[in-house]
Structure 1
Amino acid sequence: MSSDLITLSAVAAVRMIRDGRLTASDLLQAYLDRIASRDPTVRAFAHFDPTQARAAAAATKPGPLQGLPVGVKDVLDTADMPSQYGSPIWANHRPKADSAPVAWAGAAGAIVIGKTVTTEFATRKPGPTTNPVNPAHTPGGSSSGSAAGVAAGMFPLAYGTQTAGSVIRPAAYCGVVGYKPSYGLINRNGMKIMSDSLDTVGVIARGAADCALFAAAVSGRDLGDPETKPATPPRIGICQSPAWDLAAPETQALLARVTQALGRAGGQVSQRELPAHFNQLVDAHPIIMNNESARALGWELARHPDQISEGLRERLAFGLDQPPSALQHAYQVFETTQRGFPDAIEGLDVLVTPSAPGEAPKGLEWTGDPAFNLIWTSLHVPCVTVPAGSGPNGLPLGIQIVGRQGDDRAVLAWARWVEAAIA
C-alpha cells in the first residue's frame, strides 16, 4: 500500500529508488496523500504546490538523496517558490536564485516538496503550525513547519535553522530527530541571516541515520555510513547544564531514566557539568543574538517598522541598546568558552543533556524556552536530539547528544547508539 511508503526511513527509501524497486513519483504520491489528510490540522506549509512537486519527482536525478521529498524552512531562498521569512514585509517575495542548501539538495536528487512555516524572521511571532501529537500545543520554533511536517509523516527530511534552539527544541516537542551541526557545516548562503555569529542550518528527520544521510549529501562532508553502528559504547557525561532550574519534573525524571538506560546498554556514564564561567553564556547569548538581529534587519526597521511584531521590536531595541562594552564582553565570553569546551569534556565522547525544559507548552502564541539549547549553539558544537518517551500529557520528550565542534561524524554515530539504547 502507498501509505506504507511513508514509514520507510530515508535511507531505505533512497536505496529502493536506486535499486528500481520504487519510483520517486510513487514515493511522492504517498506523501501527498498524507499531506491531504494531515495538513489541514498541522498547517506545516507556508507554500505548497502538489503539481510542482509531481513535476520535480518526474525529473529527479540520481544522487544520494534521489527522489526524497524535502521540506524547506521559509528563511532559505527558493527561486521557484515564494520566500517570505515569516513576515508580511516579504509577502510573495520571489528570489532570483536558490539558497545554497536548496541548490545542493537538488543536486543530490532531492525534491523540494514545499516551504515550511517559520516564526517571524526565525526568531519571534509564531505562525499557524500546530503540534501533530496534540494541535492544542505548539510544535516549537522557529523551525515549526519542518519539525511538525516530519513528525506528521508529510515528508521524510526537512531543513531547519538554529540561532538559539530552533532545530533541537521543535524536533523534541514533535517527537522526531533534529541535528544542529557544527557552526558552518552546511553552507547558509541565501539564508535570511539574523545573527551572523549563531545562525546554523540544520536538518530534521525521523532518525539520526536519515539526518546523517541528508547533511552529508548537502555539505559534502564525511559524516560516516548512516547504517554502521559504533563498535564500542561511548563515554558519556550526563550534564544538567546551567538551565537545570528550568527543568520540569518530567525532564528531571527523563534524565534519570536515560542515565540508567545508557548504563545498562554498556555506556561509560558519569556526571559532568560545565565549568562555572560557561554560565556567562546565558547572558551573552541574547546580547549578541538581538544586537546582530537588529543590525541584520536595518532595512526592515527603517522602511517597515509597523510590520514588525511588537515582541520582535522590543528584542531588537534591547539589542541596539547594548553599550559597546557589553557587546565586547559578550563576544569575549563566546571566544573563551568556545576555546575551552574541549577541555571541559576531556575524557568523554559526548555529553547527554535535556533537549527542552519539558513537554511542548499549550497554545500557539509561544514556541517554548530555548534555555537548554542556547549554550550549545553559542559554543558552535554539534547537537542531536532523539525521541525519549513522553511526558504526563502524552507529548514527546527528547534527549540531546552534544559533542566537540567539528566532531559531527562521531556525534551522529553516538546519537544512533543512544537511540537504540533508550528505545
Structure 2
Amino acid sequence: MPMISLAELQRRIDRGDLSADAAIAQSLEAIGAQDETIGAFVCHDPRARAAGAGPLRGIAVGIKDIIDTADFPTEMGSSIYRGWQPRADASVVEMLRRAGATIIGKTTTTAFASRDPTATLNPRNHGHTPGGSSSGSAAAVAAGMIPLALGTQTGGSVIRPASFCGVAAIKPSYRLLPTVGVKCYSWMLDTVGLFAAGVEDLAHGLSAMTNRPELLGDAAKTTPRIGLVMQEFAGAPEGSSGQALRIAVAAVERAGASVRTLAMPEIVAEAWRIHPVVQEFEAHQALAWEYRTHHDEIPPLMREKLDENVGIKPATYDEARAIANRARRALAKSFDDVDVLLTFSAPGAAPKGLASTGDARFNRLWTLMGVPCVNIPADVTDGGLPVGVQIIAGFGDDARALSAARFVEEALARR
C-alpha cells in the first residue's frame, strides 16, 4: 500500500475533494488491512473521527507508546506499566490536538525506548527489523496506515528506523518539541521527532504543531552548500550506506549544489565517544524506581546495559557534559562555510530478523549536539530494503534543515 502524503491530504481536504472524516476512515481501513501482519500499533481507536478545526484536521497520527495520552494507555513497551492510564496528554499530543489532528492510536516501542526489540515487522521486507526504538511509528507510516507519527530519539531512534523503513523523518533541534509527559531515558538527549511520507509532509506537520510558518520554507528555494561528513570516528559503513551516500552526492551535484568534504574537529569526535556516558548516567537516575523495584522485569538487553553502567561517577558525567558543550561550540563554527551537513543515516540497511533494532553509531553524535536532522530515502537494496541519508543543520535552524532535505529529496527523484 502506498504511503499517505500529509500535505496532499491537506490540499484535498481544503479543496473539498475529501472530507476530514473520510481521510480518517482511510487510515482506519489501512490499519485494519495491514496491522495484523505488521504489528505497528499497541492499540488504536476503530471508531476514531476527525477532531476540531485546524491545519491538521483529517490527519490521523500515531503516538509512540512512551508518550502520555489521556485517551489511551501508555505502557512504554514494558510489563511494569501494563494497563497504565495517564490522566493527561503529553505536551506534544496536546499540540497535535490543538492543530486539529486525530490521535488514532499508540505505536510500538522497545521497552522504555531502549534496546530490546518489538515484534513489529519492517513493511518493506517482513524478514527484517523496522529499527528501534520508534519501531511502530516508522512502520505505520511506511505501510501507508497513517500520514504522521511521533517518535523519540536518544541515540538514533527516529533517523535510523526512518532509514530502515524508507520514510522521511525529522529529529528537530533539542526541545523545539517539549518532552513534558514523555517517559525520560536521558533528559540531555531525549528528543521528540516526526515520521511522514516525505519532507514536505514533515514540514507541514511540524509547522502546524509549533505554529511556525517559517518551517514550510520559502517559495524561492536556494541551492544549499553541503558539507559531506564521513564520521570516520564512528567506523566504516556497510556497502549499502556507502552507496546511498554516493548516490545522494551525485544527485545534488547534478542539481547544482556544491559539496565539499568536511573534517570534524577532534573535540566533536570526542563527543561521539562520550555520548554513552551521558546517556547511561542519566538513565540510571531517570529509571531509578524501575531499576530498584522491578529489576527482573526490565527486558534483558536493557537490564544488562543498566547493570554494566551502575558505577558511572558524577565526575565522569560532568566531564562528559563539558566535552559536549565544547563540541557544540566547535560544531557551530563548521557551518561558517556550509549551510548543512550530509552523512549516513545508519550503518546499512535494516538487519535481518528481529534480534536487533540496529546500531545508532551514525546518529548519536547529532543527538548529543542537539541539532536538527532529517532522513531522506536515497536507495533500495536488491532485497527491497531502503537506505537513507541524513541532512543536518545548525542548532535552531530547522527551517534550513527541512529546505535542504527537500532539495536532496527532489534531486534524488530526478536521478
What range describes the TM-score normalised by the shorter chain of this pair? Answer: over 0.9
| Residues 390 and 70 of structure 1, relative CA distance in 2, 3 Å threshold | same
Contact 1:70 1:110 in 2 (8 A): yes
1:341-397 residue CA offsets vs partner (Å, 9 max, x unmatched): 111232100000010000000011210000110000010000000110112422000
- The alignment status of 1:267 with 2:257, answered yes or no, reads yes
Aligned residue number for residue 404 of structure 1: 394
Conserved? CA contact 2:4–2:145, under 8 Å: no
1:18 equivalent in alignment to 2:14? yes
- Pairwise CA distance, 1:64: 1.2
Of 125-134 and 10-19, more deviation after overlay is shown by: 10-19
Tell whether the 8 Å contact from 2:4 to 2:197 is kept in structure 1 after alignment. no
Q: Which whole-Å CA distance do the structure 2 matches of 1:8 and 1:422 have between them?
A: 20
- The one-letter amino acid paired with 1:38 is Q
Residues 41 and 105, structure 2, Cα contact 8 Å, conserved in 1: yes
Distance 2:3 2:117 in 1: 29
- For 2:4 and 2:190, the matched residues in 1 are separated by 31
State the distance in 2 between where 1:300 and 1:134 align: 35
How high is the TM-score relative to the length of structure 2? 0.96
2:307 to 317, 322, 333: 317
Among residues 322, 325, 330, which one is paired with 1:335 in the alignment? 325
Is residue 262–residue 422 contact of structure 1 (8 Å, CA) maintained in 2?
A: yes
Q: 2: CA distance between counterparts of 1:230 and 1:377?
A: 30
* Equivalent position of 1:257 in the other structure: 247
Give the aligned partner of residue 86 of structure 1.
77
Query: Cα RMSD over matched residues?
Result: 1.5
CA contact (8 A) 1:71 1:146 kept: yes
Contact 1:248–1:357 (Cα < 8 Å) also in 2: yes
The within-5 A match list for 1:69-108 is 69-108=60-99
| 1:211-230 correspondence runs (5 A) | 211-225=202-216, 228-230=218-220
Mean Cα displacement is larger for which, 241-250 or 163-172?
241-250
User: What is the DSSP-based 3-state SS (H/G/I as helix, E as strand, rest coil) of the residue aligned with 1:79?
Assistant: coil
2:130 corresponds in structure 1 to: 139
Give 1:26 shift: 1.0
Closer/same/farther in 2, CA of residues 8 and 392 from structure 1, 3 Å limit? closer
Mapped contact 2:117–2:354 kept (Cα < 8 A): yes
Which of 141, 164, 171 is the equivalent residue of 2:162?
171
Q: How does the TM-score come out when normalised to structure 1?
A: 0.94
Answer yes or no: is the 8 Å Cα contact 1:141–1:367 preserved in 2.
yes
Are residues 1:387 and 2:377 paired? yes
Instruction: List alignment gaps of at least 5 residues for structure 2.
Output: none
Q: Equivalent residues in 2 for 1:224-373 (5 A)?
A: 224-225=215-216, 228-243=218-233, 245-373=235-363
Q: Measure the CA separation in 1 of the matches of 2:221 and 2:279.
A: 40
Greater Cα offset, 234-243 or 314-323: 314-323
Shift of 1:38: 1.3
What is the distance in 2 between the residues matched to 1:412 and 1:287? 30
Shift of 1:325: 2.8
Between 82-91 and 306-315, report the one with greater CA deviation.
306-315
Gaps of 5+ in 1: none
2:314, 2:74 → 1: CA distance?
34
Quote the sequence identity (%). 43
Write the distance in 2 (CA, Å) between the matches of 1:192 and 1:401.
27
Number of paired residues?
413
